[in-house]
Structure 1
Amino acid sequence: MTSEKIYQIILSSLADEATEEERRIFTDWLNASDENKAEYEKIKHLYKRCSYTPKEKIFNTDQAWQQVRTQTINKKKVFNIPVLIRYAAMVAVVVSIGLLFFTNHPQTPAISEVNIEEFDQPTLLLENGEKIALTEESFSMEEKHVVIKNDAKNKLVYESQKDTGIITTKNNHLVIPKGKTYQLLLADGTRIWLNSETELTYPVRFSSDKREVTLIGEAYFHVAPNKEKPFIVHANGMDVRVLGTSFNVSCYSSDNTFTTTLIEGSVAVKTDKNKTETIAPSEQFTYDKRNAQTSTQIVNTELFTSWMNGEYIFKDTTLEEIVRKLQRWYDFSVRYEDESLKNNRYSLTADRNTNLDQLLEVISYTSTVKLERIGHIINIKRIKEEEKMK
């Protein structure tokens, strides 16, 4: 057995994800020598350093969301993670109250062209061209019968006021740069979590027979039910339509595939060149923009929503995907000595408060691949087996 194989089994055991056969292999290996026991202690120490989250860390949310969060669908878990990882499955359980078919709709909120790399703070762009950096300072402003508040705790809130006549809809554009996340509460009660390098355009107030927003990047939606106004997410050529439910959408322009992962309820997904498909809870719809192909599969939804709690959970994930997601949190570029290394697979949890070098150390220590950071560049190369065992 190669050292890389046993390291993967050790990580699976530490994460309480190992199969019975893997546990047997691990036990036999551990009892084989004192050297193996010492090696295991080193790996466990690294794992704890990477996975530990300080007790002082508090997930930013309000009491209403805490009440929803208590109704998680843990019974649908595919695997368990031990206490030392300490991640909360951000899974909202709500009742879907219906689903409508797609019809022609009026002009949707269009995302104006911006260079997201020019932003270092979450920023609200108003229709008149004004830019408001969402820093730690609270503010309140009124625009078209809606009060907009920033609570200085990574949450922007829209509060609808009483009608005073004809409402003219204005769009806002929210930009979330690398390394940042933000929450948004729309005037209709819909709650949205926005991941790093994400843009969302939405009306200040929904006034038509549909609630439409436009997304580039990744966001988790907890849609407020409204039978009269279906909610539609236009996501880089993929439309997701619901009345009230919870789901995650990932549609980064740099990715080859876009996904919609349903937590609870029912949604219809339509792409530019395919018919509408309806997915069920715990299913993920994938659209490959390279060939316009689609697929649906059952997934562990926690793997695709854990980012809301400041973590990425990787389960048998390719190194290429791990690196791509970490680049949304950390500022670095990557060079592969061998392109085939992109296909190496790993299981680990990355907390956004963990030092990048520690994450690289864990991956390097438990594989025959070395990730070496020089400034803002990470060089990834293969190391020989005999070097690994030294």
Structure 2
Amino acid sequence: MNQELLYKYFKGTATIDEEKQILDWVEATEENREVFLKERMLYDISLFSDKQDTKQKKTIRLTPMLSWTARIAAVIIIGVCGYFMTADYLYNKDAQLQTITVPAGQRAQITLADGTHVWLNSKSTLTYASNFGRNERNVELDGEAYFEVAKNKKIPFYVNTEMHNVRVVGTSFNVCAYKGSKEFETTLVEGIIDIYTTHNEQVVTRLKKEEFFANYDGKYKKAILPSYEYLRWKEGLYCFDDVPFGGILDKLEKYYNVKITVTSPKLLDHAGLTGKFREQDGIEHILRTISKDHPFKYSINEDKDSIIIYE
């Protein structure tokens, strides 16, 4: 297969006939599929390398931040070895589905074909079609992501989750919707977004700037957001404002890739807690700090992947 044609496909500029030619070639043999995946990984690495060079020449609007480009490059390179980041490609005659999965304890940033920037939080998965942006802009999210959507009034942008779908044209917002959690949260930073229930075209609510909407197991909540501090997970800063102890532990499990067990239910009855921590502080520092206001003890196993909290 011609490499130039493959790169046109990766960029989303291939014609429909060229897409069909490539997909037929991929499905023909397992060897073709492996070549395709290898070329895709090399293409992604080259993109991130180009972005790194660009960032050295100009200031990016979303600052201060961690060295995101370095993180992304690591994600892609180690992903080739099948550990840090995975990309699964499913084929059919219409379009190829691309899936990006971020493991527990990591974060990543990607740019979609239409110019939309997406930050993915720990244990999050984003799925979209290879022809994304040509006739539609749909992504499926399992987890948490922050979107800066490129404006295109002709083609709305949809974020589809287990409980709700979000429709936008061009705006910035955060969505947190892990499958199985029975929780959906979205925060609007700029623009306007409409929220639907999954498989239903009826609008549940419309959010304007600085508004927050949540569905906690069927209980809706809408409010004006007092600050955007909790969105600073993109920078490696974890901010909690009147969050229940159990909610904080759920976040820490994802951020640090550990299993936390609480032996006493009474510890989870504590009122909301407020605090701000840096990712590099580590989970032990965070637990020690919280225990000063909310007394408890904890033990960590030798592999540091399991924590027991007790009175």
TM > 0.5: yes
Equivalence map 1:6-45=2 (5 Å): none
Question: Using a 3 Å threshold, how does the CA distance of structure 1 residues 65 and 365 change in structure 2: closer, same or farther?
Answer: farther
Higher mean C-alpha displacement, 345-354 vs 234-243: 345-354
Match of 1:263 among 189, 192, 195: 189
Is 1:277 the counterpart of 2:205 in the alignment? Answer: yes
5+ residue gaps, structure 1, are: 1-59, 71-86, 89-118, 130-166, 383-390
Larger mean CA deviation between 373-382 and 263-272 belongs to 373-382
SS at match of 2:231: helix
Larger displacement relative to structure 2 (362-371 or 231-240): 362-371
Q: Quote the residue 1:321 is aligned against.
A: 247
Instruction: Provide the rounded CA distance (Å) in 2 between the counterparts of 1:270 and 1:63.
Output: 41
Which of these two proteins has the greater Rg computed from alpha carbons? 1
Answer whether contact 1:169 1:206 (CA < 8 A) is retained: no
Deviation, 1:332, is 2.3
Q: Percent identity?
A: 30
1:206 and 1:357 map into 2 onto residues whose CA distance is 42
- For residues 63 and 277 of structure 1, the distance between their equivalents in structure 2, rounded to whole angstroms, comes to 41
1:164-196 deviations in Å (ceiling 9; x for gaps): xxx963221111111111111011100000011
Residue by residue over 1:114-167, the C-alpha shift from the partner in whole angstroms, topping out at 9 and shown as x without a partner, is xxxxx74112222359xxxxxxxxxxxxxxxxxxxxxxxxxxxxxxxxxxxxx9
Q: Which residues in structure 2 correspond to 1:182-261 (within 5 Å)?
A: 182-206=108-132, 208-261=134-187
* Equivalent residue letter for 2:159: V
The answer to whether the 8 A contact 1:364-1:371 is kept is: no
Output the CA distance in 1 between the equivalents of 2:133 and 2:184: 29
SS, match of residue 327 in structure 1: helix
Residue in 1 aligned with 2:235? 309
Moved over 6 A (4+): none
Shift of 1:234: 0.4
Distance 1:63 1:280, change over 3 A: farther
Structure 2, unaligned runs of 5 or more: 1-51, 66-81
Distance in structure 1 (CA, Å) of the matches to 2:135 and 2:265: 50
Using the TM superposition, give the Cα deviation of residue 301 of structure 1 relative to its aligned residue in structure 2, in angstroms. 4.5
Partner residue in 1 for 2:279? 352
DSSP-derived class of the 1:353 partner:
helix
Higher helix proportion (structure 1 or 2): 2
The alignment's TM-score, normalised by the length of structure 2, stands at 0.69
Aligned-partner SS, 1:313: strand
Do the aligned partners of 1:333 and 1:378 also contact (CA within 8 Å) in 2?
Answer: yes
> How many residues get paired?
239
1:332 has 2:295 as partner: no
**CA distance in 2 between partners of 1:340 and 1:263 (Å):** 36
Bigger relative contact order (CA 8 A; separation at least 6): 1
The 8 Å contact of residues 248 and 304 in structure 1, kept in 2 or not, is answered as no
Residue aligning to 2:69 = none
Query: Alignment RMSD, CA only?
Result: 2.8
Query: CA separation in 2, counterparts of 1:214 and 1:307?
Result: 21
Q: Distance in 1 between the 2:121 and 2:175 partners?
A: 10
2:113 aligned counterpart, secondary structure: coil
Deviations 1:31-74 (A, max 9, x none): xxxxxxxxxxxxxxxxxxxxxxxxxxxxx99479955337xxxx
State the secondary structure of the residue aligned to 2:255.
coil
Query: 2: CA distance between counterparts of 1:235 and 1:348?
Result: 29
Matched ranges for 1:68-79 at <5 A: 68-69=61-62
* Cα shift at 1:339: 1.2
Moved more, 292-301 or 263-272: 292-301
